[in-house]
Amino acid sequence: MTTANTSSKTPKVQKHFRLPDPPQREPDEMTQYDTLFKYGDSHALAMHLGKPESTLVEADRWIVAGPEDNKARARRPDLLVAFGVDPEAYRASNGYVVSEQGKAPDFLLEVASESTGETDVAEKREDYAALGIGEYWCFEETGEHHGTKLAGDRLVEGRHEPVEIRELSGGVLQGYSRALNLNLRWEEGDLVFRDTAEGDPIATLESERRDRLAAEARAEAAENRASAAEARNRELEEELRRLRESN
């Protein structure tokens, strides 16, 4: 009698390490949505930086040192930028795994809320330095929960050191991000990324819409002027014809 070979086993498929989905945010934490996503600022930053095949501009997913890392210490930054990484691995892992990417993110930003403000400037600052984050920025509309409206730290020899924040005319605050090669500004409660060469804000969905409407208005005005000039020419030609006929 032939019996099945029970000694052989089907090899198990190794599953990719995947972080759990983040929990739902508290209502007061929606400040990060208003600051970064409501008007497409994060999308504008991604478009400005380019190279989506190797550049991550992401938010609201976990960042850990490695699969074995203590998940209780995992953080969920409001904005993350990393150059020279694998976006597909980020999506497969449902977050940023430093050991998997081979490097820490170049830039992180937290937007303050009442429930997160104290953590942003204390524990998170230490944890992000330990992970090797190149730059860590904090933004707040009022300065009530961070103690300041705009602050940046740059990693130097394993420790974050403050980035110089200058006050410009009109109460505008500005700091230079070496990682992004952009100036970050607090402008009347808004976070604005500005080009360092021209000083203009990077293009956003709203600014592109305004530029398109302005271009359409200019084109319509030019067409109206051309139509008016053509009508005037016809009037002059008709008047000249009448004068010739009367003579």
Secondary structure of residue 239 in the 3-state scheme:
helix
Chain segment 101-124, per-residue pLDDT in tens: 999 999 999 998 887 888 888 899
Is the overall model pTM greater than 0.95, yes or no?
no
The candidate with the shortest Cα–Cα distance to 90, out of 115, 118, 132, 54, is 54
Condensed to tens digits (0 to 9), the pLDDT of residues 3-60 reads 445 445 555 545 677 887 877 766 666 676 667 877 778 889 999 999 999 999 998 8
Q: What is the pLDDT of residues 192-245, one digit of tens each?
A: 999 988 788 887 655 555 555 555 566 666 677 777 778 788 887 887 788 777
Closest-CA residue to 18 (of 76, 129, 79, 94): 94
Q: In this predicted structure, what is the pLDDT of residue 189?
A: 92
